[in-house]
Amino acid sequence: MSQVPMQYFNLMEENYSKYGLSIIQLIQIGKFYELWQEPDVPSIQQAYSQAELLVESSIRSRPLGVTPPIEQVASLLDMRIISPGKRSLLQMGFPVYSFTTHLSTLLDKGWTIIVIDELVTGKSGPKQRAVSQVYSPSCNLEDCSELSYVISIYFKDDLLGITLFSAMNGHSIMFPVSWVDRDKVARLLISYRIKEVVIWADSGVDSGILNKIYGLLIGWNLFPSEPNARIEVMEAPLGLSC
């Protein structure tokens, strides 16, 4: 694999740990932004559709089939995926000038967008690139017409730790609530436009706890009435347990 694709996929692994699994990574190649995927390499991304959230846990105990991100984006933007040869990278892209239009479409569907731009160095030789922007559904400063919030949920025993945060104005609310009083949170959330849901969980957390949290989100009307909010289940850092 050449140097540029290697940098692309190394950054993708790094960004999964930073921003969760619902990311689309775009790299500037000349006057285009491109999205790449290695052929015949399964994605580590996990997807939980509304229907999958609502079915019995016994049915969902098997791994879920996941449509590769490049296929989801191609379908969403009505674009083609190309591959010069059997062992070549899967590729799709669009002109840099149309980025803003496509950005809004992807953010509206809950994706976090990582942009890798070419650096202007004034030196000859291969182009240098680096991550220049990160856009997420609740942190899109290009569109401040309506405040969007990310909700973070810390879960331990019968206590919930709730944080609401808007990157647009820095407004945040943090409070604990007991499991028996969880319905009170739903009344608070009516006043906020939730676009991202982050759940901190141990890597070995059992599915029963996650199912409990998904049921909680459904009870709070984040699903299915807010289908474009994106759920991220993040591995808790050392010292943080659920």
What's residue 27's pLDDT? 96
Whether the full predicted model's pTM is greater than 0.75, yes or no, is no
Tokens in use for 122? 């004034």
Same fold, 3-135 and 149-235: no
Give the residue extent of every domain in the chain: 3-135, 149-235
- Residues 106-117: tens digit of each pLDDT: 888 878 899 999
Categorize the per-residue pLDDT at 202 as very low, low, confident or very high, splitting at 50, 70 and 90. low
Return d(Cα 157, Cα 71) in angstroms, integer. Answer: 39
Those residues with Cβ within 8 angstroms of residue 106's Cβ, 6 or more apart along the chain or in another chain: 24, 73, 76, 77, 113
Return d(Cα 52, Cα 60) in angstroms, integer. Answer: 7
What's residue 146's pLDDT? 62
Ramachandran angles phi, psi of 132, nearest 5°: -110, -30
Those residues with Cβ within 8 angstroms of residue 186's Cβ, 6 or more apart along the chain or in another chain: 219, 220, 221
CATH 1.10.3720.10 fits 3-135, yes or no: no
CATH 3.30.930.10 fits 149-235, yes or no: no
Categorize the per-residue pLDDT at 1 as very low, low, confident or very high, splitting at 50, 70 and 90. low
Percent of the chain with pLDDT over 90: 21
Angle at 28 between CA 22 and CA 29, to 5 degrees: 130
- Residues 132-165: tens digit of each pLDDT: 998 887 666 555 556 677 788 887 777 888 888 8
Return d(Cα 108, Cα 171) in angstroms, integer. Answer: 22
